[in-house]
Amino acid sequence: MKRLRYDIVIVGSGAGGGTVAEQLSPLCHQGVRIAVLEKGPRLRDDEFTGRELEMAAALYEDGGGFLTSDGTMTLASGCAYGGSTVVYTGTSMLPPERVIQRWNVPGLTHADLECRARKYMAENNVHFLPDEAINGNNKLFASGCRALGYDVQQFPVNVKGCRGSSLCNLGCPNQAKQGTDRVQLPRAEQSGVEVVTRCEVLGIGERTLTARASPKPAGGKGDPSPWEPGDYQIDASIIVLCAGALHTPALLRHLPLPRIGRGFTCHPAMIMVAEHNRPITNFIGHPKSYYLDQFAESEHFVLETCMYFPFITAKSLAGFGAPHSAFMQAFPRLQMILVLACDKADAHNRVTFDRAGRPVADYRFQPGAIHGLIRGAITSARIFFAAGAARVHMPVARSTTIDARDAARLDEIAASAEFTPGKTPVSAAHLQGGCAMGAGPSDSVTDCWGRVHGHPRLFVADASLFPDSLEINPYVTIMALADRVAQRIREEVPALL
């Protein structure tokens, strides 16, 4: 095993790791050695082809096929230079005040988070797309919402030079999306931070990590690891875990803190699909321009526009055979809406670990989340019909196809709606929790600065810090929290190094 020494090691390069790397990078000019260890590959610009299965295999954890332990939900997270910021759509939301207040973390205020979040929204070029850049799929959602009197909102997005490929979730082929792979990590590297890709951290100890650098697989995408393949022991004065809500708790599994892995949550999501009688612009243009969050508190769901690719769409339609195929054959006429359930952290839902120390997501659907998915599906159907759809695919109904003439029966359909785990197609992104911030070891894993209780040199700076669901797209909030963690480390570097 080779042995290396750094002053600070950051595990993961997504919204959290990229931000911490950038914020600590000025220390490199004082001789501080900083490394970011990233499990995924670093792709060249010309390797972002937009081809569905090829890009999913290259950029997602388990190729996009990571499942909860009972197999009833797919969990999506990025695994590449830039983490999930490579595969999100760039929708950039301020942390909601109601949620931060409910988190009730001593020492953490909404005003502080908002101030930091705004800094990153400016740094990453967050703005509203002009009307002419918004496609038919998105405009139909907005018009349907307005016809029903709903308070539809436009998403601010972090793109620069967006050509409207619609391929955001497969990694932007035009490098337009301003994730940490485009903004924070390159800046950190310019200042002297080393980013080591294809390097998986297997375990951590007091001021030490074990990691494995992997060779580039034959035919795989991305550059080889800058490190020779093999196992490494790395000594570090400060360790910052930014490996996401699955891997960060797993890396802390050896610590005697009862809350590690607890409070894991996500946004269980259903993709709703409707067919129009005429072609609409759907796979050209940014896929996610509008959202509707007025039902987040009362009905536990948020709706967002979306547009997916053939396989993901096919997987997200319930059932099989002729009714399923009929929707797929109508692809150029499809409108899509994503239903996100606001899922409260629950005692049962947690990240545990298998014998090899790999994360296992024990998750069961809570009544609130099921209610949110069903109500969100029904509301989506109303919006589709208000926008002129001819028929809607309803994954929670006994008969999954609803024609426009049956639109008036939606309440009746809702009343008998069925949600069956293992049958109803649900996937989730925005994985959160598992190393919550809080007051002490009995209620949390870290303090409000991301420092692990009882371990002054060990920090967490990713979505696992969330004590409960954020209820919106989380990357800006992750960056704001990571900014706080980096601030605390900078302040304490003289004492800790």
Partner 1 sequence: MPLALDLATFRAVVTTIVPESSALDEQGWRDFDQVVEALLRGRPESLKRQLRLFLRAVEWLPVIRYGRTFSRLHPDARVRILAHLQNDPIQKIRVGFWGLRTIVLAGYYGRHAAARELGYCADPRGWEARP
Mind giving me the DSSP string for 66-123? -B-TTSS-EE--B-STTGGGGTS--B--PPPHHHHHHH--TT--HHHHHHHHHHHHHH
Among 23, 35, 47, 48, the residue binding partner 1 under the rule CB under 8 A is: 48
Q: Write the binding mask 388 to 427 for partner 1: x where contact by CB under 8 A, - elsewhere.
A: --------------------------------xxxx----
Binding of partner 1 at residue 277 (CB under 8 A)?
no
Shortest distance in whole angstroms from residue 400 CB to partner 1: 11
Contact 474, 100 (CB under 8 A): no
**Only segment of 201-209, 282-290, 458-466, 474-482 that touches partner 1 (CB under 8 A):** 282-290
Among 256, 298, 320, 411, binds partner 1 (CB under 8 A): 320
If binding is defined by CB under 8 A, does position 147 make contact with partner 1? no
| Near partner 1 by CB under 8 A: residue from 7, 38, 47, 52 | 52
**Of 71, 42, 313, which Cα lies nearest the Cα of 179?**
42
Contact 299, 471 (CB under 8 A): no
Beta pairing partners, 359: 353
255 is an interface residue for partner 1 by CB under 8 A: no
Question: For partner 1, which residue of 166, 169, 265, 335 counts as binding (CB under 8 A)?
Answer: 166
Binding residues for partner 1, total number by CB under 8 A: 45
478 closest CA partner among 8, 11, 18:
18
Extended strands (E) in 183-252: 194-196, 199-205, 208-213, 230-241
CB of 174 to partner 1, least distance (A): 6
104 is a site residue for partner 1 (CB under 8 A): no
Residue 52 vs 462, nearer CB to partner 1: 52
CB 129 to partner 1: min, Å: 12
The answer for 424, left when phi > 0, alpha when psi is -120 to 50, beta otherwise, is beta
Stretch of 70-78, 230-238, 389-397, 470-478 contacting partner 1, by CB under 8 A: 70-78
Asked whether 141 and 387 are in contact (CB, 8 A), the reply is yes
Instruction: Measure the CA angle with vertex 350, ends 349 and 353; round to 5°.
Output: 140
List interacting residues with partner 1 (CB under 8 A): 48-53, 57, 63, 65, 70-72, 133, 162-167, 173-174, 281, 283-285, 309-311, 313-315, 319-322, 324-325, 328-329, 331-332, 420-423
